[in-house]
Amino acid sequence: MQTITQHDRAILRDLASLQREYAESQRNKDLIAKWKLHNAFRGEQPMVHLELGTFEREVIDDRLRCKGQRAREIERDLYRNFANFELFEDDKVVPAAYHVHHRTAFTPLGIADRVTFAEEGGLGHRFEETIHDLEADFHKIKPAEYACDREGTHAELDMLGDLFDGILPAKLVMNSLYTSPTQKIVHIMGMQNMFLSMYDYPALFHRMMQSLVDDFIGYFRFLERENLLLPTVDCEGLGQGSLCYTDELPGEAVMKQRPLTSRDVWGYMDSQETVGISPEMFGEFIFPYYAEIAKQFGLLSYGCCEPVDCFWEYISKFDNLRKVSICPWCDEEWMGERLAGRKTMFHRKPSPNFLGVGAALDEDGLRGHIRKSLLAAKGCTMEITQRDVYTINHDIGKARRFIAIIRDEIDKNWK
């Protein structure tokens, strides 16, 4: 593990102190209280979050002062923990600890993804196909591989505990369990090949889906046997810019009495890759397998960029569904009618074009866009996450104004 110099250590300890200051602030405590009420379907207004990861280089890179590679990684993580709170004033909570995750490895179907990037450090990439013809290449599908580097995980915890000693705890945490069988399929065989295989080799496609189900459930059992599952009831990530706060699942008190199972934690699933198939095909080739996995979770959040209204006939059958993505291509009025009064969150993803395209905000257009969503979600519990913004034109004020406009529209149009 790379040594952190005294120069870098001083910088990191100062940033850890700043994170602690933000985490202990009354504003942050108020946010936590709001999230708890919100996820219990008792909140007064929608929660709002601007997802930073896709444009963080414009917000964080110029602030980095550490010289060592490992120190810069930690420095970046610290800024990620409080950049939203400091710069945008959205509802992102500042954690009261530096989060560390188990170093686990999981390779579904025994086939590793092969990725080629357009440039080093860039975003553009493609997945190299391993399966070109499902019938000819089916022999390449093997049992999944699971592993956990406990030694590396605890060495990192010890290093960070020493680094932040007396300032900020380093805490082992777990985000929601993420599952997307169709994403794995597209990564190893491409989307066109996936679509054609449903038609050309339906029996083999079903076998592949069942293998994926067995692999994911096998991974959950591995996590249970190795006592690697941790509570997802606090500010852990739920996917799609959301947070896990809930009193419906067991927390640390229960974990001290018994090992947790996958049914004690949040799960998150999506199937963006099947947006091009019919509801009937989704019901035949996809939903039965997703349903088998979904039953493994305590609570479920579903959906990413795919319009869920097309497949709501099936998705609505998930008994533990608490949040569902309402993407820019979804019929939000239709979904609002179905989610009104239901214990399932209307998790709206506005179009990224307002913030991510052009140097200036189209404020009138943004207001109309958000107002339309707020009216569609009347009678629902609503959450707004802005995702997929790859540039803010290096204009933090633009992003801050973006959040302010959304809040203003909420004040004018919500209940």
C-alpha 130/C-alpha 224 separation (Å) is 31
The model's pTM is 0.95
Helix (H, G, I), strand (E, B) or coil at 132: coil
Tell whether the model's pLDDT for residue 415 goes beyond 80: no
Cα–Cα distances in angstroms (integers) from residue 397 to residues 37, 81, 87, 229, 306, in the given order:
30, 19, 8, 40, 30
Hey, what are 361's tokens?
Answer: 């905000």
Please list, in sequence order, all residues whose beta carbon lies within 8 angstroms of the beta carbon of residue 150, skipping any fewer than 6 positions away: 102, 103
Percent helix, strand and coil across the chain, each rounded to 5? 50, 15, 35
| pLDDT digit string, tens, across residues 78-110 | 999 999 999 999 999 999 999 999 999 999 999
pLDDT of residue 3: 87
**Amino acid identity for residue 402 in this structure:** F
* Number of CB atoms found within 10 A of residue 101's CB: 14
- Tokens 């991974």 correspond to what residue? 219
Q: Which pair of structure tokens corresponds to residue 90?
A: 């959205």
- The model's pLDDT over 389-412, given as tens digits with 9 standing for 90+, comes to 999 999 999 999 999 999 999 999
User: How far, CA to CA in Å, does 404 sit from each of 2, 143, 290, 394?
Assistant: 42, 50, 38, 18
Q: What HEC string does 179-195 produce?
A: ECHHHHHHHHHCHHHHH
pLDDT in tens, 127-153: 999 999 999 999 999 999 999 999 999
Q: What are phi and psi of 99, to 5 degrees?
A: -80, 135
